C-alpha cells in the first residue's frame, strides 16, 4: 500500500506508516491502524497523535488503488481541506479501529475506536482537494512577502519603552517605530487550556487594534 501511495506522490516516514490492515464493505472502508512503537511515549501529549490520525486516512488508498475507482485526488495526491463536526471522545490512543464512510468522491466521515471498541474520535465530514506535486513544492526557494528575522530588543523594560526606539524591519524602511505587545506569561495554577485561550485572545485584540490604528510601523509581538 505504501509503495502505491508513494507512486501517487505521498511520501511517508516510518512513524507515519501506521496502516496495518484495511478492507471494504459496500461503500465503507474499515482499517486497523497502529502508532509506531517509537512514538508511544508521545501519545499522551496529544488528544490524538498526528501520525496516528494521518494514518487513518491512508486506508482511502484501498479504494484509490482499485482499477474501477475514481476516488478523490485522481492520479495525484489529495490533501484534507475541510473538517466538519469533530468530536474527541478519548485521548492517548496508540491503536485504532477505523470506519471511513464516503458520502461522495471527495468527502468521507470517520469513526475511530480503540482496541476495546471504545470511541476515540468521530468526524462527520472530511473533504479532500487534489493538489499537484508542483503546487506542493512551488514555494521552495522563492522569496515571500514576509520573512522571519530575530532582532534583539533588550530587556522587557526596554521593550516596553521602545516607543522611542527605532529598529530596522524588512519592508518598512530603515528606521521605524514599532508597536510593541508583550505576551503575558501564564500564571502558576491556571488551567492551561483556559490560560492559552486568554493569552491568544489578548494577542488577537492587540493585532486588531494595531490594524485599526493603521500605523506605519510594524507590530512587534514579544514572547
Average pLDDT of the chain is 80
Q: Which residues pair with 181 in a beta bridge?
A: 221
Q: Where in the chain is the domain with CATH 3.10.129.110?
A: 2-136
pLDDT at res. 1: 83
pLDDT at res. 159: 46
Cβ atoms of 35 and 52 within 8 Å: the answer is yes
Q: State yes or no: pLDDT of 67 exceeds 50.
A: no
Q: Going by DSSP bridges, is the β-strand pair 19-25/28-34 parallel, antiparallel, or unpaired?
A: antiparallel
Place of cell 516596553: 160
| Mean local confidence (pLDDT), 13-36 | 93
Cβ atoms of 76 and 9 within 8 Å: the answer is yes
Architecture of the domain made up of 2-136: Roll (3.10)
| Model pTM score | 0.58
At 77-128, the pLDDT tens digits run 788 889 999 999 999 999 999 999 985 668 899 999 999 999 999 999 999 8
**Cβ atoms < 10 Å from Cβ of 5:** 19
Q: State yes or no: pLDDT of 193 exceeds 60.
A: yes
C-alpha cell at 197: 485561550
Band of pLDDT at residue 133, cut at 50, 70 and 90: low
Of residues 20 and 171, the one with the higher pLDDT is 20
Band of pLDDT at residue 28, cut at 50, 70 and 90: very high
pLDDT at res. 49: 94
C-alpha cell at 150: 530575530
Q: Which residues pair with 123 in a beta bridge?
A: 86, 110
Query: Dihedrals φ, ψ of 177, to 5°?
Result: -95, 115
Range list of H helices, the chain? 2-7, 50-56, 60-65, 133-136, 156-160, 192-213
Amino acid at each position: 500500500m505504501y509503495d502505491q501511495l508513494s507512486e501517487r506522490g505521498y511520501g511517508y516516514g516510518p512513524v507515519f506508516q501506521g496502516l496495518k490492515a484495511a478492507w471494504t464493505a459496500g461503500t465503507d472502508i474499515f482499517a486497523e491502524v497502529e502508532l509506531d512503537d517509537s512514538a508511544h511515549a508521545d501519545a499522551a501529549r496529544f488528544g490524538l497523535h498526528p501520525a496516528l490520525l494521518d494514518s487513518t486516512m491512508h486506508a482511502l488508498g484501498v479504494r484509490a488503488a482499485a482499477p474501477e475507482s475514481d476516488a478523490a485526488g485522481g492520479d495525484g495526491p489529495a490533501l484534507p481541506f475541510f473538517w466538519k463536526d469533530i468530536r474527541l471522545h478519548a485521548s492517548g490512543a496508540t491503536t485504532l479501529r477505523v470506519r471511513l464512510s464516503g458520502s461522495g468522491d471527495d468527502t468521507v466521515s470517520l469513526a475511530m475506536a480503540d482496541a476495546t471498541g471504545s470511541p476515540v474520535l468521530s468526524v462527520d465530514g472530511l473533504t479532500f482537494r487534489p493538489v499537484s506535486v508542483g503546487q506542493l513544492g512551488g514555494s521552495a526557494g522563492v522569496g515571500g512577502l514576509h520573512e522571519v528575522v530575530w532582532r534583539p530588543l533588550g530587556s522587557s523594560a526596554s521593550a516596553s519603552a521602545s516607543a522611542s526606539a527605532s529598529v530596522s524591519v524588512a519592508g518598512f524602511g530603515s528606521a521605524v517605530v514599532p508597536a510593541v505587545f508583550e505576551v503575558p506569561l501564564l500564571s502558576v495554577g491556571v488551567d492551561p487550556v483556559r490560560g492559552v485561550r486568554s493569552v491568544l485572545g489578548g494577542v488577537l485584540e492587540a493585532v486588531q487594534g494595531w490594524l485599526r490604528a493603521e500605523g506605519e510601523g510594524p507590530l512587534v509581538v514579544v514572547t
